[in-house]
Amino acid sequence: MPEGKIIKALSGFYYVLAGDEVIQCRGRGVFRKNKVTPLVGDEVIFEAENETDGYILEVKARKNELVRPPIANVDQAFLVFSAVEPDFSTSLLDRFLVLVEFNQVRPIILISKLDLTTKEERFSIERYAEEYKQAGYQVILTSSETDDGVEEVLTFIDGKISVFAGQSGVGKSSLLNALNPELELKTDHISSHLGRGKHTTRHVELIHIENGLVADTPGFSSLDFSEVEPEDLNYCFPEIQEKSNDCKFRGCLHVAEPKCKVKEAVENGEIPKYRYDHYIEFLQEIKERKPRY
């Protein structure tokens, strides 16, 4: 039986890339029975008599999957956050980073719209970028208008499945158009009344850029930690995880425990206070989550 990768899901059809061909497939009823929903990025086994009449028979094991956006087997996530319009938000970025880290997807931070910043705003953004780099993240400053950072982004895309995600209106589609002008993805300006961009991307689709596959995903601005447990959160902040190895108590949550090396690092300025504050905020949110039965 032939094998391929789902590159688009739309209106009950799954478009499977097999070699140089894309086959339009439906899912067999067995998926509904077993509560398996094929996702973009899935490696599948299928059968097809022609390019428009195929059936997916089996979804192979996934190495990871995201819920929002719904996609599987992702190698890395480009988290696109604008320097301005909307303003750069470390709190929202840290939420995305936790989700991505928890799903064992490599995050790469892209800060867009550098061309719109004032001198003071640019200085502030560069300071944040340096702090995230020190925490262990890859950070690229970009502008789709001046092509700043575009070549650097392309070097990371090669041979990978990548997700572009972030708050609405931060310029994801504009950046993808800069990476590959042939895409001509639809973009909308920020709504000045709402302070956020219109949703111009309606579905998840993997598109070819260079020798990689990239998903342009619907923008979204809220995330919950429904799958994350309190003891997991530690691993989603690399600099906190590193310092926690030296805490006196195993399983230290870095709240009120004595001889906590994480709190010590915050006091010494080795970990930015806003990162620790977000960790504590997220930890509280997870602890107060209603139990699921």
Interval 62-75: pLDDT, tens = 999 887 678 899 99
Please check the confidence at residue 19 and state whether its pLDDT lies above 60: yes
Q: Are strands 196-197 and 190-191 parallel, antiparallel or unpaired?
A: antiparallel
pLDDT at 218: 57
Contacts of residue 46, defined as CB under 8 A and 6 or more positions apart, other chains included, come to 1, 2, 3, 4, 16, 18, 23, 25, 54, 55, 56, 57
| High-pLDDT (> 90) share of the chain, % | 62
Average pLDDT over residues 129-158: 93
Average pLDDT over residues 208-231: 78
Range of lowest pLDDT (1-5, 57-61, 221-225): 221-225
pTM to 2 decimals? 0.85
Cβ contact 89:223 at 8 Å: no
CATH classification code of 71-216:
3.40.50.300
| Position 175 confidence tier, pLDDT thresholds 50, 70, 90 | confident
- The residue whose two tokens read 């995305």 is 96
Please check the confidence at residue 202 and state whether its pLDDT lies above 70: no
Mean residue pLDDT of the chain comes to 87
pLDDT at 194: 31
Architecture category of domain 3-61 in CATH: Beta Barrel (2.40)
| Position 196 confidence tier, pLDDT thresholds 50, 70, 90 | very low
For residues 16 and 227, the model is more confident at 16
Cβ contact 69:48 at 8 Å: no
CATH classification code of 230-287:
1.10.40.50
d(CA 210, CA 103): 25
| Position 293 confidence tier, pLDDT thresholds 50, 70, 90 | low
Domain boundaries, the chain: 3-61, 71-216, 230-287
Q: Quick one: 126 exposed, middle or buried, by C-beta within 10 A (0-12, 13-18, 19+)? A: middle
Please check the confidence at residue 198 and state whether its pLDDT lies above 90: no
Amino acid at 4: G
Average pLDDT over residues 34-44: 90
Tell me if domain 71-216 and domain 230-287 are identical in fold: no
Write down the H helix ranges in the chain: 29-33, 90-102, 119-135, 150-157, 172-179, 230-233, 238-244, 261-267, 273-287
